A and B are shown apart, each in its own frame.
Chain A
Amino acid sequence: MRNGLILTISFLLAFILTLLPMPEWAIWMRPAWVLLVVIYWNIAAPDQISIGAAWLLGLLLDVLSGTLFGEHALAMTIASYFVVKMHARIKMFPLVQQGLCILLVVLLYQFVIYCVQGFIHELPKTKLYWTSSLVSMLLWPWVVGVLRNLRYRVRMA
Protein backbone atom coordinates (compact mmCIF):
# COMPACT_ATOMS: atom_id res chain seq x y z
CA MET A 1 0.00 0.00 0.00
CA ARG A 2 2.66 2.45 1.11
CA ASN A 3 4.94 1.22 -1.64
CA GLY A 4 2.21 1.78 -4.19
CA LEU A 5 1.91 5.37 -3.01
CA ILE A 6 5.62 6.09 -3.48
CA LEU A 7 5.62 4.45 -6.88
CA THR A 8 2.61 6.49 -8.01
CA ILE A 9 4.12 9.75 -6.75
CA SER A 10 7.46 9.09 -8.43
CA PHE A 11 5.89 8.26 -11.80
CA LEU A 12 3.50 11.21 -11.56
CA LEU A 13 6.50 13.49 -11.01
CA ALA A 14 8.28 11.94 -13.99
CA PHE A 15 5.24 12.53 -16.24
CA ILE A 16 4.90 16.13 -15.03
CA LEU A 17 8.57 16.80 -15.78
CA THR A 18 8.08 15.24 -19.22
CA LEU A 19 5.17 17.57 -20.04
CA LEU A 20 6.59 20.78 -18.56
CA PRO A 21 7.06 23.38 -21.33
CA MET A 22 10.69 24.04 -22.24
CA PRO A 23 12.25 26.89 -24.22
CA GLU A 24 12.77 26.27 -27.93
CA TRP A 25 16.56 25.76 -27.72
CA ALA A 26 16.24 23.07 -25.07
CA ILE A 27 13.58 20.80 -26.56
CA TRP A 28 16.03 18.05 -27.53
CA MET A 29 17.81 18.15 -24.18
CA ARG A 30 14.90 16.96 -22.08
CA PRO A 31 16.09 13.89 -20.20
CA ALA A 32 14.06 10.68 -20.44
CA TRP A 33 12.48 11.25 -17.02
CA VAL A 34 10.09 8.30 -17.06
CA LEU A 35 12.85 5.93 -18.17
CA LEU A 36 15.16 7.18 -15.40
CA VAL A 37 12.52 6.51 -12.75
CA VAL A 38 11.75 3.11 -14.27
CA ILE A 39 15.48 2.23 -14.18
CA TYR A 40 15.68 3.31 -10.55
CA TRP A 41 12.81 1.04 -9.53
CA ASN A 42 14.13 -1.76 -11.75
CA ILE A 43 17.31 -1.67 -9.70
CA ALA A 44 15.81 -0.95 -6.30
CA ALA A 45 12.68 -3.12 -6.44
CA PRO A 46 12.81 -5.41 -9.49
CA ASP A 47 10.09 -7.63 -7.99
CA GLN A 48 7.57 -4.75 -8.10
CA ILE A 49 8.51 -2.65 -11.12
CA SER A 50 9.68 -4.95 -13.86
CA ILE A 51 9.35 -5.20 -17.63
CA GLY A 52 5.54 -5.30 -17.60
CA ALA A 53 5.30 -2.01 -15.72
CA ALA A 54 7.89 -0.46 -18.04
CA TRP A 55 5.75 -1.48 -21.03
CA LEU A 56 2.59 0.02 -19.53
CA LEU A 57 4.35 3.28 -18.60
CA GLY A 58 5.72 3.47 -22.12
CA LEU A 59 2.18 3.27 -23.48
CA LEU A 60 1.03 6.07 -21.18
CA LEU A 61 4.02 8.13 -22.31
CA ASP A 62 2.99 7.56 -25.93
CA VAL A 63 -0.49 8.89 -25.24
CA LEU A 64 0.84 11.93 -23.35
CA SER A 65 3.50 12.88 -25.88
CA GLY A 66 1.49 12.16 -29.01
CA THR A 67 3.87 9.64 -30.57
CA LEU A 68 2.95 6.40 -32.34
CA PHE A 69 1.07 4.11 -29.93
CA GLY A 70 3.64 1.56 -28.70
CA GLU A 71 6.80 3.38 -29.73
CA HIS A 72 7.96 4.34 -26.26
CA ALA A 73 6.54 1.09 -24.89
CA LEU A 74 8.86 -0.89 -27.16
CA ALA A 75 11.94 1.19 -26.29
CA MET A 76 11.12 1.13 -22.60
CA THR A 77 10.67 -2.67 -22.58
CA ILE A 78 13.99 -3.32 -24.30
CA ALA A 79 15.90 -0.90 -22.05
CA SER A 80 14.22 -2.25 -18.94
CA TYR A 81 14.98 -5.84 -19.93
CA PHE A 82 18.74 -5.27 -19.71
CA VAL A 83 18.47 -3.30 -16.47
CA VAL A 84 16.41 -6.00 -14.75
CA LYS A 85 18.80 -8.64 -16.02
CA MET A 86 21.79 -6.86 -14.47
CA HIS A 87 20.14 -5.10 -11.52
CA ALA A 88 22.22 -6.90 -8.88
CA ARG A 89 25.43 -5.87 -10.58
CA ILE A 90 24.44 -2.25 -11.29
CA LYS A 91 23.41 -1.85 -7.65
CA MET A 92 26.98 -2.58 -6.54
CA PHE A 93 28.64 -0.19 -9.03
CA PRO A 94 30.14 3.10 -7.80
CA LEU A 95 28.15 6.14 -8.91
CA VAL A 96 30.39 7.04 -11.87
CA GLN A 97 30.25 3.53 -13.31
CA GLN A 98 26.51 3.45 -12.65
CA GLY A 99 26.17 6.70 -14.59
CA LEU A 100 28.01 5.25 -17.59
CA CYS A 101 25.76 2.21 -17.47
CA ILE A 102 22.69 4.50 -17.46
CA LEU A 103 24.13 6.39 -20.44
CA LEU A 104 24.29 3.14 -22.40
CA VAL A 105 20.75 2.16 -21.45
CA VAL A 106 19.30 5.58 -22.39
CA LEU A 107 21.26 5.54 -25.66
CA LEU A 108 19.74 2.15 -26.44
CA TYR A 109 16.28 3.55 -25.61
CA GLN A 110 16.84 6.54 -27.90
CA PHE A 111 18.22 4.32 -30.62
CA VAL A 112 15.07 2.16 -30.64
CA ILE A 113 12.89 5.29 -30.94
CA TYR A 114 15.22 6.59 -33.66
CA CYS A 115 14.77 3.37 -35.65
CA VAL A 116 10.99 3.47 -35.29
CA GLN A 117 10.95 7.09 -36.45
CA GLY A 118 13.05 6.05 -39.43
CA PHE A 119 10.44 3.45 -40.33
CA ILE A 120 7.43 5.74 -40.12
CA HIS A 121 8.62 9.28 -40.99
CA GLU A 122 11.76 11.23 -41.51
CA LEU A 123 14.61 11.02 -39.04
CA PRO A 124 15.51 14.05 -36.97
CA LYS A 125 18.41 15.65 -38.82
CA THR A 126 19.88 17.43 -35.83
CA LYS A 127 22.61 15.72 -33.81
CA LEU A 128 21.13 17.39 -30.74
CA TYR A 129 18.73 14.43 -30.59
CA TRP A 130 21.36 12.42 -28.70
CA THR A 131 22.06 15.09 -26.05
CA SER A 132 19.05 13.77 -24.15
CA SER A 133 21.11 10.72 -23.13
CA LEU A 134 23.94 12.88 -21.79
CA VAL A 135 21.57 15.05 -19.79
CA SER A 136 19.90 11.91 -18.46
CA MET A 137 23.27 10.57 -17.31
CA LEU A 138 24.17 13.85 -15.60
CA LEU A 139 20.85 13.92 -13.78
CA TRP A 140 21.00 10.28 -12.67
CA PRO A 141 22.68 10.94 -9.27
CA TRP A 142 20.02 13.52 -8.54
CA VAL A 143 17.20 11.11 -9.43
CA VAL A 144 18.74 8.45 -7.19
CA GLY A 145 19.11 10.96 -4.35
CA VAL A 146 15.53 12.23 -4.53
CA LEU A 147 13.90 8.81 -4.89
CA ARG A 148 16.01 7.21 -2.16
CA ASN A 149 15.17 10.08 0.15
CA LEU A 150 11.46 9.74 -0.67
CA ARG A 151 11.58 6.00 -0.02
CA TYR A 152 13.25 6.19 3.37
CA ARG A 153 11.15 9.12 4.52
CA VAL A 154 7.86 7.38 3.73
CA ARG A 155 9.06 4.11 5.25
CA MET A 156 9.93 5.81 8.53
CA ALA A 157 6.75 7.87 8.77
Chain B
Amino acid sequence: MRATILIILAIALMVLDKRFAAITELRACLSMCLAPVQYLVSWPVQLIDNVGQLMSTHDALIKENLDLKAHDLLLQAEVQRFVAVESENNQLKALLRSSAQIQGKMEIAQLLAVDSDPLVHQVVLDKGSSDKVYVGQPVLDAGGVMGQVIQVGLTTSRVLLINDPKSGIPVQNTRNGIRAIAMGDGYTGQLRLMNIAQTADIHPGDVFVTSGLGENYPEGYPVGRVISVLHDPGYSFATIKLVPNAHLDQGRQVLLVWPNRMVGVSKARV
Protein backbone atom coordinates (compact mmCIF):
# COMPACT_ATOMS: atom_id res chain seq x y z
CA MET B 1 0.00 0.00 0.00
CA ARG B 2 2.74 2.42 1.03
CA ALA B 3 4.77 1.41 -2.01
CA THR B 4 1.84 2.21 -4.32
CA ILE B 5 1.44 5.69 -2.84
CA LEU B 6 5.16 6.40 -3.13
CA ILE B 7 5.26 5.17 -6.73
CA ILE B 8 2.31 7.38 -7.68
CA LEU B 9 3.97 10.29 -5.88
CA ALA B 10 7.23 9.73 -7.79
CA ILE B 11 5.40 9.63 -11.11
CA ALA B 12 3.49 12.80 -10.19
CA LEU B 13 6.77 14.55 -9.37
CA MET B 14 8.24 13.50 -12.72
CA VAL B 15 5.24 14.84 -14.61
CA LEU B 16 5.37 18.11 -12.64
CA ASP B 17 9.08 18.47 -13.35
CA LYS B 18 8.80 17.63 -17.03
CA ARG B 19 5.59 19.41 -18.00
CA PHE B 20 5.12 22.31 -15.63
CA ALA B 21 8.52 23.07 -14.07
CA ALA B 22 6.49 23.52 -10.91
CA ILE B 23 8.96 22.20 -8.39
CA THR B 24 11.96 24.35 -9.26
CA GLU B 25 12.03 25.82 -5.76
CA LEU B 26 11.92 22.43 -4.07
CA ARG B 27 14.76 21.28 -6.29
CA ALA B 28 16.79 24.40 -5.62
CA CYS B 29 16.25 23.99 -1.89
CA LEU B 30 17.38 20.35 -1.94
CA SER B 31 20.37 21.17 -4.11
CA MET B 32 21.39 23.85 -1.62
CA CYS B 33 21.34 21.27 1.17
CA LEU B 34 23.39 18.86 -0.95
CA ALA B 35 25.97 21.41 -2.14
CA PRO B 36 28.40 20.48 0.70
CA VAL B 37 28.53 16.92 -0.63
CA GLN B 38 29.48 18.22 -4.07
CA TYR B 39 32.21 20.42 -2.61
CA LEU B 40 33.38 17.49 -0.48
CA VAL B 41 33.91 15.37 -3.60
CA SER B 42 35.37 18.16 -5.69
CA TRP B 43 37.85 19.44 -3.11
CA PRO B 44 40.31 16.52 -2.99
CA VAL B 45 40.29 16.18 -6.78
CA GLN B 46 41.16 19.84 -7.18
CA LEU B 47 43.72 19.55 -4.38
CA ILE B 48 45.53 16.78 -6.27
CA ASP B 49 45.54 18.99 -9.36
CA ASN B 50 47.00 21.87 -7.37
CA VAL B 51 49.70 19.68 -5.86
CA GLY B 52 50.62 18.59 -9.38
CA GLN B 53 51.02 22.26 -10.32
CA LEU B 54 53.14 22.97 -7.24
CA MET B 55 55.56 20.26 -8.25
CA SER B 56 56.16 21.66 -11.74
CA THR B 57 59.69 22.97 -12.18
CA HIS B 58 60.88 26.56 -12.18
CA ASP B 59 62.09 26.35 -15.77
CA ALA B 60 58.77 24.99 -17.01
CA LEU B 61 56.95 27.84 -15.27
CA ILE B 62 59.22 30.48 -16.79
CA LYS B 63 58.74 28.96 -20.22
CA GLU B 64 54.96 28.83 -19.75
CA ASN B 65 54.97 32.43 -18.57
CA LEU B 66 56.88 33.57 -21.67
CA ASP B 67 54.52 31.65 -23.93
CA LEU B 68 51.51 33.17 -22.21
CA LYS B 69 52.95 36.68 -22.53
CA ALA B 70 53.54 36.19 -26.24
CA HIS B 71 49.99 34.86 -26.61
CA ASP B 72 48.65 37.79 -24.61
CA LEU B 73 50.43 40.24 -26.91
CA LEU B 74 48.84 38.64 -29.96
CA LEU B 75 45.39 38.75 -28.35
CA GLN B 76 45.85 42.39 -27.36
CA ALA B 77 46.69 43.27 -30.95
CA GLU B 78 43.54 41.42 -32.11
CA VAL B 79 41.43 43.24 -29.54
CA GLN B 80 42.66 46.64 -30.75
CA ARG B 81 41.51 45.75 -34.21
CA PHE B 82 38.16 44.52 -32.90
CA VAL B 83 37.53 47.73 -30.96
CA ALA B 84 37.86 49.70 -34.16
CA VAL B 85 35.62 47.27 -36.03
CA GLU B 86 33.02 47.31 -33.26
CA SER B 87 32.74 51.09 -33.17
CA GLU B 88 32.53 51.17 -36.96
CA ASN B 89 29.83 48.51 -36.83
CA ASN B 90 27.83 50.49 -34.28
CA GLN B 91 28.10 53.61 -36.43
CA LEU B 92 26.80 51.70 -39.44
CA LYS B 93 23.97 50.34 -37.33
CA ALA B 94 23.17 53.87 -36.21
CA LEU B 95 22.91 54.88 -39.88
CA LEU B 96 20.50 51.98 -40.38
CA ARG B 97 18.60 53.01 -37.24
CA SER B 98 18.90 49.56 -35.73
CA SER B 99 19.95 48.93 -32.17
CA ALA B 100 23.60 48.52 -31.26
CA GLN B 101 24.96 45.79 -29.08
CA ILE B 102 27.53 46.28 -26.41
CA GLN B 103 29.51 43.72 -24.54
CA GLY B 104 27.98 42.48 -21.29
CA LYS B 105 29.73 41.60 -18.06
CA MET B 106 31.77 38.37 -17.80
CA GLU B 107 33.08 36.42 -14.88
CA ILE B 108 35.17 33.27 -14.54
CA ALA B 109 33.65 30.27 -12.76
CA GLN B 110 35.19 26.92 -11.88
CA LEU B 111 33.67 23.58 -12.75
CA LEU B 112 33.21 21.36 -9.73
CA ALA B 113 34.86 17.98 -10.22
CA VAL B 114 31.67 15.95 -9.80
CA ASP B 115 30.08 13.61 -12.32
CA SER B 116 26.44 13.76 -13.37
CA ASP B 117 24.41 10.80 -14.54
CA PRO B 118 25.75 9.58 -17.91
CA LEU B 119 22.19 9.94 -19.23
CA VAL B 120 22.40 13.73 -19.01
CA HIS B 121 25.04 16.18 -20.28
CA GLN B 122 25.38 18.60 -17.42
CA VAL B 123 28.15 20.20 -15.37
CA VAL B 124 28.14 21.91 -11.98
CA LEU B 125 29.67 25.37 -11.39
CA ASP B 126 30.97 26.78 -8.12
CA LYS B 127 28.90 29.97 -8.38
CA GLY B 128 25.26 30.37 -7.44
CA SER B 129 22.58 32.91 -6.66
CA SER B 130 24.95 34.62 -4.21
CA ASP B 131 27.02 35.60 -7.28
CA LYS B 132 23.85 36.72 -9.16
CA VAL B 133 23.80 33.69 -11.45
CA TYR B 134 20.33 33.26 -12.95
CA VAL B 135 18.43 30.50 -14.72
CA GLY B 136 18.90 30.74 -18.49
CA GLN B 137 22.26 32.45 -18.24
CA PRO B 138 24.70 31.60 -21.09
CA VAL B 139 27.98 29.88 -20.26
CA LEU B 140 31.02 30.09 -22.57
CA ASP B 141 34.53 28.76 -22.65
CA ALA B 142 37.58 29.72 -24.70
CA GLY B 143 36.29 27.82 -27.75
CA GLY B 144 32.66 28.89 -27.86
CA VAL B 145 29.25 28.40 -26.27
CA MET B 146 29.02 25.64 -23.65
CA GLY B 147 25.40 25.83 -22.56
CA GLN B 148 23.02 27.57 -20.22
CA VAL B 149 22.31 27.54 -16.50
CA ILE B 150 19.22 25.48 -15.71
CA GLN B 151 19.24 25.42 -11.93
CA VAL B 152 20.70 27.80 -9.37
CA GLY B 153 21.49 27.02 -5.76
CA LEU B 154 23.06 29.37 -3.24
CA THR B 155 26.67 28.42 -4.02
CA THR B 156 26.36 26.04 -6.96
CA SER B 157 24.58 26.03 -10.28
CA ARG B 158 23.90 23.37 -12.89
CA VAL B 159 24.63 23.94 -16.58
CA LEU B 160 22.88 22.11 -19.41
CA LEU B 161 25.49 21.55 -22.15
CA ILE B 162 24.55 22.27 -25.76
CA ASN B 163 24.98 18.59 -26.72
CA ASP B 164 22.31 17.37 -24.29
CA PRO B 165 19.22 16.03 -26.15
CA LYS B 166 17.13 18.54 -24.17
CA SER B 167 19.12 21.56 -25.35
CA GLY B 168 18.36 23.69 -28.39
CA ILE B 169 20.24 26.79 -29.52
CA PRO B 170 19.44 29.22 -32.36
CA VAL B 171 22.42 29.42 -34.74
CA GLN B 172 23.48 31.10 -37.96
CA ASN B 173 25.93 30.08 -40.69
CA THR B 174 28.87 32.51 -40.80
CA ARG B 175 29.34 31.96 -44.54
CA ASN B 176 25.85 32.79 -45.82
CA GLY B 177 23.67 33.60 -42.84
CA ILE B 178 21.36 30.56 -43.02
CA ARG B 179 19.61 30.29 -39.67
CA ALA B 180 18.76 27.06 -37.89
CA ILE B 181 18.29 25.47 -34.49
CA ALA B 182 20.99 23.11 -33.21
CA MET B 183 19.80 20.36 -30.90
CA GLY B 184 21.89 17.90 -28.89
CA ASP B 185 22.23 14.65 -30.81
CA GLY B 186 21.45 11.80 -28.42
CA TYR B 187 24.47 10.36 -26.72
CA THR B 188 27.06 11.05 -29.44
CA GLY B 189 28.18 14.34 -27.92
CA GLN B 190 27.49 16.13 -31.21
CA LEU B 191 24.82 18.59 -32.38
CA ARG B 192 22.20 18.23 -35.11
CA LEU B 193 20.56 20.97 -37.17
CA MET B 194 16.77 20.75 -37.15
CA ASN B 195 14.49 21.07 -40.20
CA ILE B 196 17.00 22.16 -42.82
CA ALA B 197 15.79 21.72 -46.40
CA GLN B 198 17.64 19.25 -48.63
CA THR B 199 18.63 22.06 -50.96
CA ALA B 200 20.08 24.38 -48.32
CA ASP B 201 23.62 25.58 -48.99
CA ILE B 202 25.48 24.01 -46.08
CA HIS B 203 28.79 22.19 -46.47
CA PRO B 204 31.14 20.36 -44.14
CA GLY B 205 33.51 22.86 -42.53
CA ASP B 206 30.92 25.63 -42.22
CA VAL B 207 31.00 27.36 -38.85
CA PHE B 208 27.78 28.14 -37.02
CA VAL B 209 27.58 30.96 -34.47
CA THR B 210 24.78 32.00 -32.14
CA SER B 211 22.22 34.12 -33.92
CA GLY B 212 20.96 35.85 -30.80
CA LEU B 213 17.36 35.23 -31.84
CA GLY B 214 16.26 33.35 -28.74
CA GLU B 215 17.50 36.30 -26.63
CA ASN B 216 19.02 33.71 -24.31
CA TYR B 217 22.47 33.53 -25.85
CA PRO B 218 24.37 36.66 -26.94
CA GLU B 219 24.91 37.02 -30.68
CA GLY B 220 28.02 35.92 -32.57
CA TYR B 221 29.69 33.29 -30.38
CA PRO B 222 30.87 30.11 -32.14
CA VAL B 223 28.75 27.02 -31.49
CA GLY B 224 29.99 24.28 -33.80
CA ARG B 225 31.51 23.20 -37.09
CA VAL B 226 29.68 21.04 -39.64
CA ILE B 227 31.28 17.62 -40.01
CA SER B 228 28.74 15.77 -42.14
CA VAL B 229 25.84 16.62 -44.42
CA LEU B 230 23.66 13.71 -45.47
CA HIS B 231 21.02 14.05 -48.21
CA ASP B 232 18.76 11.04 -47.89
CA PRO B 233 15.85 11.24 -50.37
CA GLY B 234 13.78 9.25 -47.88
CA TYR B 235 13.67 12.16 -45.46
CA SER B 236 12.22 15.58 -46.13
CA PHE B 237 15.11 17.30 -44.34
CA ALA B 238 18.89 17.00 -44.58
CA THR B 239 20.76 15.35 -41.71
CA ILE B 240 23.48 17.77 -40.63
CA LYS B 241 25.87 17.03 -37.76
CA LEU B 242 28.02 19.56 -35.93
CA VAL B 243 30.90 19.13 -33.50
CA PRO B 244 30.76 21.69 -30.71
CA ASN B 245 33.54 24.29 -30.67
CA ALA B 246 33.67 24.52 -26.90
CA HIS B 247 35.62 21.85 -25.04
CA LEU B 248 32.63 20.33 -23.31
CA ASP B 249 34.40 17.35 -21.79
CA GLN B 250 37.55 18.98 -20.50
CA GLY B 251 38.73 22.14 -18.86
CA ARG B 252 38.13 23.53 -15.42
CA GLN B 253 37.25 27.17 -16.03
CA VAL B 254 34.30 28.66 -17.85
CA LEU B 255 32.94 32.14 -18.47
CA LEU B 256 29.59 33.26 -17.13
CA VAL B 257 28.07 36.04 -19.21
CA TRP B 258 25.60 38.70 -18.17
CA PRO B 259 24.60 39.90 -21.62
CA ASN B 260 23.22 43.40 -21.95
CA ARG B 261 19.86 43.40 -23.64
CA MET B 262 19.60 45.38 -26.85
CA VAL B 263 20.72 48.87 -25.95
CA GLY B 264 19.89 52.01 -27.84
CA VAL B 265 22.68 53.50 -29.97
CA SER B 266 22.99 56.65 -27.92
CA LYS B 267 23.76 54.64 -24.82
CA ALA B 268 26.25 52.43 -26.57
CA ARG B 269 28.26 55.41 -27.77
CA VAL B 270 29.08 56.53 -24.23
Give A residues with C-beta under 8 Å from B.
12, 15-16, 18-22, 24, 27-28, 30, 51-52, 55, 58-60, 63-71, 73-74, 77-78, 81, 113, 116-117, 120-122, 124-126
Contacts and interface: CB of A to CB of B under 8 A. Distances in A.
A21 B27 contact: no
Contacts of B3: 51, 77-78, 81
Contact of A20 (B115, B116, B118): B115
Contacts of A122: 165, 186-187
Interface stretch (B37-45, B58-66, B137-145, B216-224): B37-45
11 contacts: A16-B37, A51-B3, A59-B13, A68-B14, A69-B14, A69-B23, A70-B13, A71-B14, A77-B3, A77-B10, A122-B165
A28 B113 CA distance: 18
Interface of B: 2-3, 6-7, 9-14, 16-18, 23, 26-27, 30-31, 34, 37-38, 40-41, 45, 113-120, 122, 158, 165-166, 186-187, 249
Given A20-B41, A55-B6, A122-B187, A67 B115 contact: no
A22 B113 CA distance: 10
Contacts of B41: 16, 19-20
Given A15-B37, A16-B41, A24-B249, A70 B11 contact: yes
A30 B116 CA distance: 11
Contacts of A70: 9-14, 17
Contact of B166 (A21, A30, A58, A121): A121
B6 A77 contact: yes
A27 B115 contact: yes
Contacts of A18: 115
A125 B118 CA distance: 12
Contacts of B26: 69
Would you list the 3 A-B pairs with minimal beta carbon distance, nearest first?
A70-B13, A74-B10, A69-B17
Contact of B38 (A19, A30, A59): A19
Nearest to A73: B10
A61 B190 CA distance: 27
Given A60-B30, A64-B38, 12 more contacts: A15-B34, A16-B40, A19-B114, A20-B115, A28-B118, A65-B115, A66-B120, A67-B117, A69-B16, A70-B10, A121-B166, A122-B187
B26 to A, nearest CB: 8
A63 B10 contact: no
B113 A126 contact: no
A116 B10 CA distance: 12
A21 B14 contact: no
A21 B40 contact: no
B164 to A, nearest CB: 9
A116 B187 CA distance: 16
Contact of A21 (B31, B113, B187): B113
B120 A65 contact: yes
Given A21-B115, A117-B119, A68 B2 contact: no
